[in-house]
Structure 1
Amino acid sequence: MAEVKNILLCGVGGQGIILASKILANGLINAGYDVKMSEVHGMAQRGGSVTTQVRFGEKVHSPIIGKGQADILVSFETMETSKWLDYVKPQGQVVMNDYEIPSAPILSGAATYPTGIIEDISQKIHTTVLKGSELASQIGNIKTMNVIIVGALVKAMGLDASIDWDKVIKANVKEKFVDINIKAFKLGMDQVK
């Protein structure tokens, strides 16, 4: 693969975005790609925005994705999708978690959570919407929501055939959580047609 692919992951602190990015990056490295990753934590511990950028290809010179350059935006929280949408290429796509985490202004009553985000984004760009919290609850651990989303991303980008994702998950999560995270990953893949 000569062309560099750009993946932007966004969400809110505490959603496991960094782990999700590490699973993704390690899988791509194992497949022989040159991979660069950057993280922006912001006010992550206070429920603030978190983004990671993963770029991969034959040779990647920088970890940074500019506006209009992401092949895919992976959003772990609904409102965060809107904030980062202008980073996606016109022909790009979005994998979006239908999950709302109210910001501090919303919690204080100074603002309201916007409505119609999913419908608006789906009209603008190819979008796959997941109900990550419901799926994670089905398998018995809400904390697997991030790995469900990674599974959907992998399938959406066609990265599911050549990489041993079970091995990657085993290398990146605690042993007692390996089986449920493998199950979560496969459940996420099943959500993308």
Structure 2
Amino acid sequence: MSQVKSVMIVGVGGQGTLLASRVLGSAMLHCGADVKVSEVHGMSQRGGSVVTYVRYGDKVYSPVIDKGEADVLMAFEALEAARFLPWLKTDGTIVVNTQQIDPMPVVTGSAAYPENIIGSVKAEGAKVVAFDALKLAEQAGSVRAVNIVLIGAVAKRLSIDKQVWIDTIKETVPAKFMDMNLKAFELGYNAQEI
């Protein structure tokens, strides 16, 4: 490890962002990095926007990621990717699930869900890895595995050996869900972006 790297995890409450941050942080620890993981910020119990920061390197003094500092933005939902785009570094990468989850203003009819969000994010110049993580999670055996699918896609873009990720998943998820989560990781790792 050398310089500090930052991964920002954004999503909607109930999508598994907390487990994703635990897996990311544990994988970095296995590599000997100093790791700081923030707590979940947002309305995680109510389907609101949630954000978690994972920072790692030789010496990390704070878990907080400021605008323009995230090396990777892991977005569980397309609108969240657009909302948190300002936190991404100029040469950063967004790994985004193309799933659409309507926020409350859309549900109540007071707003419309924006069209072509992925295209808009790409137009800003960001490196975007977009794919249907929900579909891959279903292939793995459960829609609840979206978080591990996204971990797989992020893992492929970080300079950490694949086996470290697999070992971390084995240590982190309950044994009864192991096969499903390992399959979800592989599907995310090999996901074809759209």
* Ranges in structure 1 where 5+ consecutive residues have no aligned partner: none
Mapped partners of 2:187, 2:168: distance in 1: 16
Runs ≥4 in structure 1, deviation > 3 angstroms?
Answer: none
| Number of residue pairs aligned between Structure 1 and Structure 2 | 192
Task: Write the mapping of 1:44-83 to structure 2, written as runs, cut at 5 A.
Answer: 44-83=44-83
* Ranges in structure 2 where 5+ consecutive residues have no aligned partner: none
- Normalised to the residue count of structure 1, the TM-score between the two structures is 0.95
Change (3 A) 1:3 1:192: farther
- Normalised to the residue count of structure 2, the TM-score between the two structures is 0.94
> 2:10 touches 2:80 (CA, 8 Å); kept in 1?
yes
Q: 2:148 aligns to what?
A: 147
> 2:95 touches 2:153 (CA, 8 Å); kept in 1?
yes
> 1:152 touches 1:192 (CA, 8 Å); kept in 2?
no
> 1:155 touches 1:192 (CA, 8 Å); kept in 2?
no
Name the Cα RMSD after superposition: 1.3
Is structure 2 residue 94 aligned with structure 1 residue 94?
A: yes
> 2:12 touches 2:76 (CA, 8 Å); kept in 1?
yes
Deviation at 1:166, TM superposition (A): 2.3
- The sequence identity of aligned pairs, in percent, is 42
Deviation at 1:192, TM superposition (A): 6.1
> 2:155 touches 2:165 (CA, 8 Å); kept in 1?
no
> 2:18 touches 2:40 (CA, 8 Å); kept in 1?
no
Deviation at 1:22, TM superposition (A): 0.3
Deviation at 1:117, TM superposition (A): 0.6
